[in-house]
Chains A and B, each alone.
Chain A
């Protein structure tokens, strides 16, 4: 019996020591900046909002980064864009006057919850909403099986904004403001977060303890974030050859098209409409934009019955914008604008020319 007691004591001590060490490691390294312990993400946000271009930032929580950017804003933004990675190249110079304050808050896999949460961050922290909001609506926004859960990083702001949209009492809003985020602390014991921290630790070791750096030029082979929040890819993607794009586009549409699986009905319509109604009640100008897919990819997947709701979603948005006098630009269909495969990086991410053409569109394209 004593042998077993000793065995249990020894094993449990070892487990506790390992968990303790890993927890401290996760807390200290904090690659996503969740515990505000590793200041690199906060520093990156401050650098960016101070008007400097940053480069080299990889493997971080994009939602958290947007929160930190909004927190550190030096100016009051007039126009913001919210969407997915499909609008990350949307730059101020394409369509706005120099004097207007603009920021691109797009995040990978942006969903309706992200739109609401990011507007929530503005209201929560600064008490205002920018006077114009550009919402880049991807077709998966209305797919309840889109698999997008990353918005939960901003859950607090999402809940706050939902309460605002549905006009809930002040004490409930205060509770949300003061609540403790348990999911955040769970990250200390999360396998994926531990792996991410190990990778980040390795990255820091290899780069003189720097997770990002300031650059004066965009002509460097690295991931770049401009002061308006738009991005530039590293050279391998920025200057990708067209035959490679075509190959990527085919692969993209042959597999499960990103976030469009099990798209059997339009969901989230009520919440979307209530959100828009709320923004309109605050006299916010809204611009809805639909960015096209690569024609090679689009032509393959749109023929598939499984993805018919891409067309249905576009039709719904067009009807909705007309009924509610909201401006809508663009289309998921690249042929309406004569785009070719060379205008894209892959199956769904477009190059600068696509943004310029769509954002400067005067007449509605049929």
Chain B
């Protein structure tokens, strides 16, 4: 079930909300948790019920291992518990690897050895990358004795809580469970409802109005256009840059808003990432909970920055390449991760010499780097990436709008044409306006989390809520999945 669907907003959500609080009102705390787990699993199974056994098995397995690790306080059993932890992590990675990377692995074996092993064409179970990472974190935290939680029901709530189940934010057990245990979270809180609905409607608007508008141009430019002129290539890449941000941050806003309805505060996941003035800054603002996971469970265990510069650079590269491959089984994702790792290394070296740039120049370089690297992230193959990238930096394919022909006709001697300047991406003049709006929104406006922080129940916020919700309501009639559902 999608957050941006009538059945979710008008059927599933109200029913779940009212039954959950009714059970709490009747002091049936365990019953309310049980109900939340069942309804979250129903939400999950809506797409495909065949995924259900996978998440259930994964939950039982990790709960068993985690419970053992958290009870294992005896120093004599240290080595054994470490082995159990390794076993748990490897099992999780194997599960993820089987579904996500088997075909990629076979394809490369076939390529290298010129063999003809058949692909398995496995369908990636929904949310597997997210719930696997979340549970690996649980195992590590259990091993470190940071978790004192033995109830399977509580664990099931932690894993399946529907607002964050499908695409995060990736949460820690220790930041979620005390909230569910808090007595205050068991009664309806109107302040949280206002704030939750406010942020939910902003997220919905970001997704169905802004991201889905950019999606048309991005999809046409990347997937179907055979050639692109200079403007179309830039419009394609920028459209995807905006689409991805508004889609994923819109989803996160909706998740945060939904959780608030249940008096649960999810961690912030985006903090105006396109305002970043360097690549390190970007990774502190983009998909923050993934960055936190990669830092805590990969970068720091590898040694972080404690073992000298060279080792730090190596750790950064390894972390980002793994981060890239987490997003999808493909060389493009690996290359995207490699580029970001490399950029961080370059930035570290640069900073270590104390060099500084003007803020606007730093922003320009950072934004363009991110925009260009998203091309590798988005393109389905190398040729598509080169089609977009090549046209972005070629001066032989400039087409300008017809209405400029009379004023700029002298450019014709430099091979500049005047005509249908967005025809290959099914665009018109509105694309220019939307790109402008995109820049204004990412650079000049407060982000949704800042708006939530300063939320007051006043007329302006009411107008914003009514406007975003009503427009989104009318835009809901099409089916549009979130981009991060496929990762």
Using CB atoms and an 8 Å cutoff, list the residues of chain A in contact with chain B: 1, 3-8, 10-11, 14-15, 18-19, 22, 186-187, 189-192, 194, 247, 251, 254-256, 261-262, 304, 306
Contact = CB atoms under 8 A, between A and B. Distances in A.
Contact of B477 (A4, A18, A190): A190
B343 to A, nearest CB: 34
Contacts of B474: 22, 189-191, 194
Residue of A11, A187, A194 ringed by the most chain B CB atoms within 10 A: A11
Contacts of A262: 223-224
B226 A306 contact: yes
Interface stretch (B52-60, B280-288, B383-391, B465-473): B465-473
B470 A256 contact: no
A191 B475 CA distance: 5
B251 to A, nearest CB: 20
A187 to B, nearest CB: 8
A232 B364 CA distance: 53
Given A4-B194, A10-B462, A304-B226, 19 more contacts: A3-B457, A4-B190, A4-B191, A4-B457, A5-B190, A7-B194, A11-B197, A11-B466, A15-B469, A22-B474, A189-B477, A194-B474, A247-B419, A254-B424, A256-B226, A256-B424, A261-B224, A262-B224, A306-B226
B16 interface: no
A186 B477 contact: yes
Contacts of B419: 247, 251
A256 B225 CA distance: 6
B225 A189 contact: no
Contacts of B224: 256, 261-262
A144 to B, nearest CB: 14
Contacts of A251: 419-420, 423
Interface string B446-487: 000000000001100110011001110111110000000000
A186 B5 CA distance: 12
Contacts of A256: 220, 224-226, 424, 426
| Those 3 A-B pairs whose CB atoms lie nearest each other, nearest first | A7-B457, A191-B474, A4-B190
B226 A18 contact: no
B179 interface: no
Given A15-B466, A19-B470, A254 B227 contact: yes
Contacts, number: 73
A189 B470 CA distance: 10
9 contacts: A1-B191, A4-B193, A11-B465, A187-B477, A189-B6, A189-B474, A251-B420, A261-B224, A262-B224
Contacts of A190: 474, 477
Contact of B473 (A4, A10, A19): A19
A194 B426 CA distance: 22
Contacts of A15: 466, 469-470, 473
A306 B225 CA distance: 11
A18 B424 contact: no
Nearest to B194: A4
A18 B466 contact: yes
Given A3-B457, A255-B225, A8 B424 contact: no
Contact of B190 (A8, A192, A247): A8
B424 A255 contact: yes
A255 B421 CA distance: 11
A255 B228 CA distance: 9
Contact of A7 (B223, B225, B462): B462
Contact of B423 (A7, A192, A255): A255
A189 B226 CA distance: 36
Contacts of A19: 470, 473
A14 B466 CA distance: 7
A254 B469 CA distance: 40
Contacts of A6: 457
A329 to B, nearest CB: 31
Contacts of B225: 255-256
A14 B426 contact: no
Contacts of B227: 254
A306 B462 CA distance: 51
A18 B194 CA distance: 19
A269 B226 CA distance: 27
Contacts of B473: 15, 19, 189
Nearest to A147: B224
Contacts of A191: 471, 474-475, 477
A192 B474 CA distance: 8
Nearest to A304: B226
A18 B457 contact: no
A254 B458 CA distance: 52
Contact of A14 (B197, B457, B458, B462): B462
A5 to B, nearest CB: 5
Contacts of A7: 194, 457-458, 461-462
Contacts of A18: 466, 470
Contacts of B6: 189
Contacts of A306: 226
A321 B259 CA distance: 61
Interface string B201-235: 00000000000000000001001111100000000
A8 B466 contact: no
Contacts of A4: 190-191, 193-194, 457
Contact of B194 (A8, A194, A254): A8
Contacts of A10: 462
Contacts of A254: 227, 423-424
A18 B463 CA distance: 12
B320 to A, nearest CB: 33
Contacts of A261: 224
